[in-house]
Structure 1
Amino acid sequence: MGSSDGSAPEGSRSLVGAVSADLIVVVALLGVGIATVLTPTLRIEPVQTLIGLLYVSFVPGYVLSLVLFPAADGAVDEGNEPRDATETSPSGSDRPGETGIESISALKRLGFAAGASFVLVAVVGTAVSLTSIGEQVPTTILVVSVVTLVVIPVALRRRAELPPAARFRVSLRTVPSTASSALFRSDSRADLALTLLFVTMLLLAAGSVGYAVTAPKEKGTFSEFYLLTTNQTGDLVADDYPTEFVAGEPRPIVVGIGNQEYEPVTYTVIVELQNVRLENNRTVVLERERLQQFSPTVSHNDTWLQYHQIEPEMTGTRLRLTYLLYRDAPPATPTTENAYRDLRLWINVSAPQGTNANALSAPQQANTNAVRPVAAPR
């Protein structure tokens, strides 16, 4: 209900007064995290790693600490009474225990925030991994952000229920002195041990992030390379590849690359039709016809597809349609041995009706770029 003088309701004034610098910083961090997930240009490995560390080590657990422990350290004495006994809670009781008032030291609050954050992120990350609802890191950041945003109004309400003098608040001007006092002016050996443990955890976390950002990611990097066709409904499938061709008559096929190299890569794809023979347990290329060459640049975790037509001129049976994949520029003589990846499809190419088959048995130099990209089917 509004006041008789027309001013804002007391509850509204309490909620506004409960806002402090710490919650403003938390909301800003959540905004950065959500923007990182929803903006493709920001979804790069170092940025996601740093944002992920903030969530794992601090943000969600800190907001939960504000819900469970809204009072400032020292606002409640051992008898569970406020130090300022003249102030009462909004419910009219001067016993904070009756309204759930709890307080912990700044150091214990930081420890609680770190532990609770690790647990929350682990649970959400495991759920995302098991349900396959999206990419694990971006989806985990988004879900944790939404959960934290939902909890923030609860934290504000819990803080607003306390007398102003008893509320836990953070001022940016007092952060250095408060942190120094909490970390280096402990009154007991237990507090000192907890301080050393907390500092060690921070150093280990910072070192892990530094290594994750700067270390070369050689293990686990790979590129997917595959051929696809379109079925009767227009869907791409890894099946029913064309094997019977007529010289000069095109048939469609799709080549694809999936980049999991943790960096953008400029690939080279060379398409050749080869007449091969097995000699002394090794394959010898007797003739080759260069059909096409592609040079796409593919970002990490992205996929490139090229719809094109295969239009061979060389005729024969058991000819090898070969796709060679290279990182960057190919060598002067591309082979399956020096390719980064290769794909092979055995096909038969017959001469058109009414044409002398022997006249088309050799590669036609005038048609080395016979493959033409075509639009993807809708």
Structure 2
Amino acid sequence: MSHRASTWLRFGFIRRYPFDLAAVSVGAAVAYLLVTRFGTESGLRLFAMVPLVLFLPGYALVSTLFPTDKRSANRTAATAAEARPRGIDVIERMGLAFVLSLAIVPLIVLVLPVTDWGLSAQSIAAALAAVTVVLAQLGVVRRVRTPDTERFTVAPIASLGRLRNAGLTASSVVLVIAIGAAVSALFVGVLLPVSAGGHTELALYSETDDGELVAGELPSEVAPGTSIPMTIAIENHEGTQQDYTVVIQQQVLEDDAVVERTELQRLNTTVADGTTARSERSVTPTVAANETVRISVLLYHDEPPTTPTNENAAEETHFWVDVTDR
């Protein structure tokens, strides 16, 4: 008998599970999968980020805070406690979903950089999805525990009818203006940096006698025909795996203008997001003695242009070398 009662309770809970909160949880999970699967250039990725950033976490929080529907005018309160207004209407619920998202997203953006996950499109999407799902489940518990007569339920047709008959009030106009300003600010502050992707870091290191990599200690003078050992480091923070091409170029300058370019080496590599690839290389200046050259390391996404330059490279670094006859 207890087993039958337990089964009835489980299925009863499933039948009462709010459809809107189920859709919010599934939508957050799907948005996270789309963000992590597609690159920064994909419009589908930005399309998935819009509801995840602008609406879903705020709606889940609103559902947790306000499990009840707004009392209609024709319902008479039985007690003084019931006479107090309870719940919010659909317009207020939707508006607060946007506004509260503004409170959730910046907090996540501030916290992530100090964690092991760092700040990237994937980490933001994962944190927002997790927060949305957790808040949605809390909202489910609160709403299921609310009496049927007071519980907020999703009835799209009835809600549209109420909105059509209610008209716009002053508070609705103010709410719409606030939502518009909030959405604009959020697009500028959050969506654009996320959709624009991250960045790549390029660095040159030399190796000490102890095998330690140090920056800024490459030799400034070499004899003709002497090789210069160096380590090229590429750190990927673009949000997705990247294919890179590195061009090592010897440049002769006159009056700050490059008058001669010689490609010494070229490197192709693939770097996973959030990782650093290092490559040990040796370059040998080809100019004669008593000349000064600039050794430039130029990094490109995918293939470089026909004439690689410091100006058209995605990232560049360089050092100067005097070729002496000593």
Q: CA deviation at 1:134?
A: 0.8
Q: 1:32 aligns with which of 30, 33, 42?
A: 30
The answer to whether the aligner puts 1:185 opposite 2:165 as a matched pair is yes
The answer to whether the aligner puts 1:329 opposite 2:313 as a matched pair is no
The answer to whether the aligner puts 1:253 opposite 2:230 as a matched pair is yes
Aligned to 2:219: 242
**Whole-angstrom distance in 2 between the partners of 1:65 and 1:140:** 21
Assess if the C-alpha contact under 8 Å between 2:248 and 2:266 holds in 1: yes
**Whole-angstrom distance in 2 between the partners of 1:35 and 1:261:** 17
Aligned to 2:19: 21
Q: 2:92 aligns with which of 108, 111, 130?
A: 108
Q: CA deviation at 1:101?
A: 10
Aligned to 1:44: 40
Q: CA deviation at 1:24?
A: 1.9
Assess if the C-alpha contact under 8 Å between 2:24 and 2:136 holds in 1: no
Assess if the C-alpha contact under 8 Å between 2:18 and 2:153 holds in 1: yes
The answer to whether the aligner puts 1:135 opposite 2:119 as a matched pair is yes
Q: CA deviation at 1:185?
A: 2.6
Q: Report the CA distance shift for 1:285/1:52 in structure 2 as closer, same or farther (over 3 A).
A: closer
**Whole-angstrom distance in 2 between the partners of 1:284 and 1:163:** 79
Q: Report the CA distance shift for 1:313/1:112 in structure 2 as closer, same or farther (over 3 A).
A: closer
Q: CA deviation at 1:234?
A: 4.9
Assess if the C-alpha contact under 8 Å between 2:293 and 2:320 holds in 1: yes
Is the partner of 1:120 in helix, strand or coil?
A: helix
1:167-204 deviations in whole A, cap 9, x for unaligned?
3222xxx53x2453354331563365357547x73996
**Whole-angstrom distance in 1 between the partners of 2:289 and 2:259:** 12
**Whole-angstrom distance in 2 between the partners of 1:114 and 1:335:** 46
**Whole-angstrom distance in 2 between the partners of 1:284 and 1:58:** 53
Assess if the C-alpha contact under 8 Å between 2:219 and 2:321 holds in 1: no
**Whole-angstrom distance in 1 between the partners of 2:263 and 2:57:** 57
Assess if the C-alpha contact under 8 Å between 2:236 and 2:272 holds in 1: yes
Is the partner of 1:110 in helix, strand or coil?
A: helix
**Whole-angstrom distance in 2 between the partners of 1:313 and 1:286:** 15
More divergent stretch after superposition (105-114 vs 291-300): 291-300
Q: 2:104 aligns with which of 107, 120, 123?
A: 120
Assess if the C-alpha contact under 8 Å between 1:258 and 1:304 holds in 2: yes
Aligned to 1:58: 55
Question: Unaligned 5+ residue runs, structure 1?
Answer: 82-94, 352-378
Q: Report the CA distance shift for 1:291/1:190 in structure 2 as closer, same or farther (over 3 A).
A: closer
Q: CA deviation at 1:114?
A: 1.5
The answer to whether the aligner puts 1:145 opposite 2:129 as a matched pair is yes
More divergent stretch after superposition (100-109 vs 63-72): 100-109
1:158 is aligned with what amino acid?
R
Q: Report the number of matched residues.
A: 313
Aligned to 1:344: 319
Structure 1 length-normalised TM: 0.62
Give the CA RMSD over aligned residues: 4.8
**Whole-angstrom distance in 2 between the partners of 1:339 and 1:122:** 34
1:125-155 deviations in whole A, cap 9, x for unaligned?
2333577851254333322322232223322
**Whole-angstrom distance in 2 between the partners of 1:55 and 1:267:** 34
Q: CA deviation at 1:293?
A: 3.6
**Whole-angstrom distance in 1 between the partners of 2:278 and 2:96:** 48
Aligned to 1:84: none
Larger radius of gyration: 1
Q: CA deviation at 1:110?
A: 0.8
More divergent stretch after superposition (256-265 vs 311-320): 256-265
Q: CA deviation at 1:115?
A: 1.3
Aligned to 1:311: 284
**Whole-angstrom distance in 1 between the partners of 2:120 and 2:273:** 15
Is the partner of 1:128 in helix, strand or coil?
A: helix
1:52 is aligned with what amino acid?
M
**Whole-angstrom distance in 2 between the partners of 1:197 and 1:284:** 54
2:166 is aligned with what amino acid?
S
Higher relative contact order (CA 8 A, sep 6+): 2
1:8 is aligned with what amino acid?
S
Q: 2:68 aligns with which of 65, 68, 71?
A: 71
Q: Report the CA distance shift for 1:283/1:161 in structure 2 as closer, same or farther (over 3 A).
A: closer
**Whole-angstrom distance in 2 between the partners of 1:195 and 1:186:** 15
Assess if the C-alpha contact under 8 Å between 1:36 and 1:43 holds in 2: no
Q: Report the CA distance shift for 1:28/1:137 in structure 2 as closer, same or farther (over 3 A).
A: same
Q: CA deviation at 1:317?
A: 4.3
2:298 is aligned with what amino acid?
L
Question: Unaligned 5+ residue runs, structure 2?
Answer: none
Assess if the C-alpha contact under 8 Å between 1:33 and 1:142 holds in 2: no
Q: CA deviation at 1:109?
A: 1.0
1:346 is aligned with what amino acid?
V
Q: CA deviation at 1:225?
A: 4.9
**Whole-angstrom distance in 1 between the partners of 2:91 and 2:261:** 72
Assess if the C-alpha contact under 8 Å between 2:222 and 2:321 holds in 1: no
